[in-house]
Chain A
Amino acid sequence: DAKTTQPNSMESNEEEPVHLPCNHSTISGTDYIHWYRQLPSQGPEYVIHGLTSNVNNRMASLAIAEDRKSSTLILHRATLRDAAVYYCILRDGWGGGADGLTFGKGTHLIIQP
């Protein structure tokens, strides 16, 4: 899977929007962009994924650059419960199979009350 680059940490205030960037300049045409997060002392959980178009779900929004070399996870109104490590992961959508996720270092999101 192609490599991603994320800031080590970010800090935001409660009830404000948060924009978490991810660079993936070597992304291929069949790579999907996935985001997972890991809350303290818990297993990772799926947040959102997309291919080319921006995506929204109940947890977050995913904005994908037109050239697909970067993306941004948007938490519209952060709460203390959103404090976690956020991982941006590329997944090749070509063919079948069930390979595991390759986690990078992720972004440690700190939410201030």
Chain B
Amino acid sequence: DAMVIQNPRYQVTQFGKPVTLSCSQTLNHNVMYWYQQKSSQAPKLLFHYYDKDFNNEADTPDNFQSRRPNTSFCFLDIRSPGLGDAAMYLCATSRTTGGRGLETQYFGPGTRLLVL
């Protein structure tokens, strides 16, 4: 009964070679998030989709983009991965309510990206 699914769990790419990470959800939630978590650090929000509306964090590099073709799927595209982009990438979902304080986010297991 997996709710937020991320495949693969491990992804290896080459320096500068575009890579796409995928996330799907069975919760029918209207919001999907992407977080980056580097080794021994806390997760950091990259961007999120509120329905079809894309919301980018101010300090997210242009190298990172996202697509959400439908409610269930969301993709993270890294156009030219550098060594510093090696990290765990976490997808999360939530259903908005009357206020942010009430919503719970559900995380997937993450995809660990290795850049060679």
Contacts and interface: CB of A to CB of B under 8 A. Distances in A.
Given A44-B107, A46-B106, A99 B100 contact: yes
Contacts of B94: 98
B48 A100 contact: yes
Nearest to B107: A43
Given A103-B42, A103-B44, A98 B50 contact: yes
B1 to A, nearest CB: 15
Interface in A93-108: 93-106
Nearest to B99: A93
Nearest to B31: A98
B99 A94 contact: yes
Contacts of A91: 100-101, 103
Contact of B35 (A45, A49, A100, A106): A100
Interface residues of A, number: 31
Chain A at the B interface: SS class: loop
A42 B110 contact: yes
Nearest to A103: B42
B45 interface: yes
Of A31, A49, A93, A95, chain B has the most CB atoms within 10 Å of the CB of: A93
B102 interface: yes
Interface string A45-87: 1100101000000000000000000000000000000000001
Interface of B: 4, 30-31, 33, 35, 42-45, 48, 50, 55, 57, 90-92, 94, 96, 98-110
Interface of A: 30-32, 34, 36, 38, 41-46, 49, 51, 87, 91-106
